């Protein structure tokens, strides 16, 4: 335990770490983060892995600025639930609690600054009191409701999410991983009904239980040390010479 903490890396994630993490989440699903942290050879804590995945690597994440509709939704739900960021995030597909939290803070700072400018002292409301500021920020509830409908809602919690990727796209990673998958057969998902043309990992990576039959793996899929060593010999950088930019090999065991 203590040793684990000592070797845990901190700070920004490198491309290679992202790649490793995405790959192992693809293999084992987005649970058991401590386990993934160990077998992947990443010198990161399970928590850190989870956070990176949830906030950055998850294939369903949207990128880029919040749309006005999303902004209104944030207002609406924040007025309902307060700082329940994860709950709000669930209503905004593709957005993370972290993202919403950041947005809110930024937004409130702006509002606070504006209020300082314009308001007389008696009218300044505390930005932390969502209900008080909400009335001015979000004066028309109907708009919010309308904006909600602007999503392609296919169910209470299911939206069709359009992935927007900017700059260095995660697609590149997904493609690379998907290609590399061909080289590795021992951990194929039980049901490979998700091989989509664009090879994003939303199928195999997301253990929607339809693609990853955990029931078959049971606790057995948790390898003991010996098995792990056999399957993932010295998981260090020497194991992953992966990601040579020519895209030749991913795993060189």
Partner DNA sequence: AACTTTATCAACCGCCGTGTC
Partner DNA sequence: AGACACGGCGGTTGATAAAGT
H/E/C letters for each residue in the chain?
Answer: CHHHHHHCCCCCCCHHHHHHHHHHHHHHCCCCHHHHHHHHCCCCCHHHHHHHHHHHHCCCCCCCCCCHHHHHHHHHHHHHHCCCHHHHHHHCCCCCHHHHHHHHHHHHHHHHHHHHHHCCHHHCCCCCCHHHHHHHHCCCHHHHHHHHHCCCECCCCCECCCCCCCCCCHHHHHHHHHHHHCCCCCCCCCCCCCCCCCCCCCCCCCCCCCCCCHHHHHHHHCCCHHHHHHHCCCCCCCCCCCCCCCCCCCCCC
Residue with smaller CB distance to DNA, 118 or 142: 118
Cα separation values, 121 from 134, 136, 191, Å: 18, 16, 63
Residue with smaller CB distance to DNA, 32 or 253: 32
Q: Is 84 near DNA (CB under 7 A)?
A: yes
Residue with smaller CB distance to DNA, 109 or 229: 109
Q: Is 116 near DNA (CB under 7 A)?
A: no
Q: Is 221 near DNA (CB under 7 A)?
A: no
Q: Is 10 near DNA (CB under 7 A)?
A: yes
Q: Is 86 near DNA (CB under 7 A)?
A: yes
Q: Is 65 near DNA (CB under 7 A)?
A: yes
Q: How far is the CB of 246 from DNA (least distance, A)?
A: 25
Q: Is 103 near DNA (CB under 7 A)?
A: yes
Give the contacts of 249 (CB within 8 A, at least 6 positions apart).
180, 183, 241, 242
Q: Is 228 near DNA (CB under 7 A)?
A: no
Residue with smaller CB distance to DNA, 43 or 253: 43
Residue with smaller CB distance to DNA, 11 or 155: 11
Neighbours of 113 (CB within 10 A): 11
Residues 181-210 that bind DNA (CB under 7 A): none
> Of 70-78, 94-102, 132-140, 223-231, which segment contacts DNA by CB under 7 A?
94-102
x/- string (CB under 7 A) for DNA, residues 131-150? --------------------
Nearest to 20 by CA among 54, 55, 57, 47: 57
> Binder to DNA among 7, 15, 16, 47 (CB under 7 A)?
47
Residue with smaller CB distance to DNA, 12 or 121: 12
> Binder to DNA among 32, 80, 175, 228 (CB under 7 A)?
32
Q: Is 180 near DNA (CB under 7 A)?
A: no
By CB under 7 A, name the binding residues for DNA.
1, 9-13, 31-35, 44, 46-48, 50-52, 55-56, 64-65, 83-87, 97-99, 101-103, 105-107, 109-110, 113, 219
């Amino acid at each position: 335990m203590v040793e684990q903490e000592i070797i845990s890396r901190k700070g920004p994630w490198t491309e290679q770490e992202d790649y490793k993490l995405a790959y192992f989440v693809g293999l084992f699903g987005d649970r058991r983060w401590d386990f993934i942290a160990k077998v992947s050879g990443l010198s990161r804590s399970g928590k850190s892995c989870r956070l990176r995945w949830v906030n950055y690597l998850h294939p369903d994440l949207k990128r880029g600025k919040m749309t006005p509709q999303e902004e209104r939704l944030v207002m609406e739900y924040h007025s309902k639930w307060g700082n329940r960021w994860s709950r709000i995030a669930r209503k905004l597909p593709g957005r993370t609690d972290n993202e919403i939290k950041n947005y809110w803070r930024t937004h409130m700072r702006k509002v606070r600054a504006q209020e300082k400018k314009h308001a007389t002292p008696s009218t300044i409301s505390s930005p932390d009191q969502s209900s008080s500021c909400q009335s001015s920020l979000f004066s028309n509830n109907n708009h919010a409701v309308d904006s909600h409908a602007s999503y392609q809602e296919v169910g209470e919690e299911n939206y069709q999410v359009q992935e927007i990727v900017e700059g260095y796209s995660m697609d590149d990673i997904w493609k690379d991983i998907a290609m590399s998958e061909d080289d590795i057969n021992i951990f194929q998902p039980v049901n490979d009904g998700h091989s989509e043309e664009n090879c994003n990992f939303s199928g195999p990576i997301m253990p929607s239980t339809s693609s990853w039959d955990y029931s078959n793996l049971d606790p057995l899929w948790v390898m003991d040390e010996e098995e792990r060593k056999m399957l993932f010999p010295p998981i260090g950088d020497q194991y992953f010479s992966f990601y040579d930019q020519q895209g030749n090999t991913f795993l060189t065991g």
